[in-house]
Amino acid sequence: MNIQHHISLKPYNTFGLDVKSLMFSEVNSLKELKDTLTLNQLEQFMFLGGGSNVLFTKDFDGLVIKNNIKGKEIIEETDEYVKLKIYSGENWHKLVMYCVERNWGGIENLSLIPGTVGAAPMQNIGAYGVELEKVFIELEAFNLNTFEIEVFKKTQCEFGYRESVFKRKLKNQYFIFSVTLLLQKQPVISAEYGDIQTILAEKGIQKENASIKNISDAVITIRQSKLPDPKVLGNSGSFFKNPQITVEHFEKLKLTHPHIKGFEQENGIKVPAAWLIEQSGWKGKRIGNTGSHEKQALVLVNYGGATGNEVWDLAQEIIKSVKTQFDIELEAEVNVI
Ligand code: EPU
C-alpha cells in the first residue's frame, strides 16, 4: 500500500480539473482497502472510480482512495443466461465490450459510458432506453463502520432515475465492492430510441434481425457524434438531470413554447434539460475556459485550464436562466465537491 502526498487529481477526473489531494492511494483488493482505512483514521476520505461524475471545486484536504479492485466471476450459467459478478474497479465500457463479444445481452445500450462498474449502481446509469437496474441482481458493499461486507438485493438499492440508496440515505457509508448482473444468451434488443433506429435503418439492418453488436455499435456512433471525448475536451457527460414537472406546468409552458419536448412519466412529464438550456441561449456558449458544448447543451466542458468554480459558476448562471424562463429548477447530476 502506497500513500502519495499532495498529488494533482487532474489525471483522475474526466473534467481534467487540476486540484490537489492531501493524500492519495490506490487499492487493489479488499484487504488493501481495509488496511488503508485502518492506518489512516482520517475525518476526510473519498473514493474515486473513473472520476467521470465529479466536479472538484477545491483541493481535497483528505485521502482519495482510487478503486482498482478488478476481476470477473461467472456465478451461474445456463443455456439462457449468465450471472456475472464483476469487481467494482473494472472499467464499465470494457465490461460492455466483454459481454458484447460473447453475445451476452443486457448492457449493450450502455456502451461507452465512462467510469467504473462500482459507480454504475451508485447512480443507476442509463442511456438509450436502458438503465442498469434492468439487469441488476445484487451487489456487495463494504460497510465503512462495521468493516463487514453486506449484500444488497435490487429493491434494497432503491433505484430511481440516476438515483440509488447510496446517493441518499446511505451516502458515504459504503464502498461498493462487487456487482452481479443477469445477462441473456438469447438477447432481446432494446431499439426504441429514435437515433438507434435511424442508424440501423441507414445500415439496412431490420430491427428484428439486429444483434447486440449492432446496437452497441449504434450507441457508440451516437455518443461519439454528440458527446465530447473527455480525453480531448474535459467534461463529465450530462451535467444536469432531466427535470420532471407536473402536467399542469407542462401544459402552461406549451402555451408560450409550443415546441417544448416532454416525455410522460408515472407522475409528471420529464423535460429534456438540454432543450431548456438551448432555448435559454446557452448552447455552444463559451465563458472563459468553460462552456456548454456546441453539440449537446447538457454537457459542460473544460476548454483547458478551467477551475471547478468556473464550471460551477456557469452552472449557476444556466440554472438561473432556465428558472427565469421556464420556472424549472435544474439539479446537478454530477457530485460537486
Ligand atoms: N436536445 C436539445 N438540445 C441539445 C441536445 C438535445 O434540444 O443540445 C433535445 C433533443 O432533441 C432530444 C432531447 O433533448 O429531444 C434529449 O436529448 P438526448 O437524447 O441527447 O439525451 P439527453 O436527455 O440530453 C440523456 C442522459 C444521457 C444519455 C442520453 C441518451 C440524463 C441526464 N442524460 O441525455 O446520459 O446518454 O439521455 O439516453 O438523463 C449522462 O448521464 O452523463 C449521459 C450522457
pLDDT for res 308: 97
CB of 50 within 6 A of ligand 1: the answer is no
Q: How far is CA 30 from CA 89, 143, 146, 203, 218, in A?
A: 11, 12, 14, 46, 37
The whole-number pLDDT of residue 39 equals: 78
248: CB partners within 8 A, 6+ apart? none
CATH topology of domain 3-67: 3.30.43
Q: Are 216 and 111 in contact (CB under 8 A)?
A: yes
Q: What is the DSSP letter of 91?
A: B
Contact status, residue 179 vs residue 89, Cβ threshold 8 Å = no
Q: Which residue owns the Cα nearest ligand 1 atom 13?
A: 272
Mean pLDDT estimate for the chain: 96
CA-angle at 32, arms to 12 and 163, nearest 5°: 55
The arithmetic mean of pLDDT across residues 14-19, rounded, is 97
Active site residue 202: no
Task: Name the residue at shortest CA distance from atom 23 of ligand 1.
Answer: 272
- State pLDDT tens for residues 55-81: 999 999 999 999 999 999 999 999 999
Q: What is the mean pLDDT of residues 164-172?
A: 95
- Reported as a single tens digit per residue, the pLDDT across 280-333 is 999 999 999 999 999 999 999 999 999 999 999 999 999 999 999 999 999 999
171 pLDDT tier (thresholds 50, 70, 90): very high
140 counts as catalytic: no
Cell of 184: 441473456
Q: Give me the pLDDT at residue 32, please.
A: 95
For a ligand 1 pocket test, name from 122, 219, 226, 238 the mutation site with the most ligand atoms within 8 angstroms of its C-beta. Answer: 238
| CATH architecture for the domain at 234-336 | Alpha-Beta Complex (3.90)
Phi, psi of 100 (to 5 degrees): -65, -40
Q: Find out if CATH 3.30.465.10 is the number for domain 72-184.
A: yes
Q: What distance in Å separates the CA atoms of residue 313 and residue 307, rounded to the nearest whole number?
A: 10
pLDDT at 2: 84
What is the CA(195)–ligand 1 centre distance, in A?
11
CA of 309 to the centre of ligand 1 (A): 24
Q: How far out from the chain centre does Cα 194 lie?
A: 21
pLDDT computed for residue 122 by the predictor = 96
- For residue 238, indicate whether it is catalytic: yes
In this predicted structure, what is the pLDDT of residue 187?
87
Asked if residue 131 has its Cβ within 6 Å of ligand 1, the reply is: no
Domain residue extents for the chain: 3-67, 72-184, 234-336
Q: Name the pTM for this structure.
A: 0.94
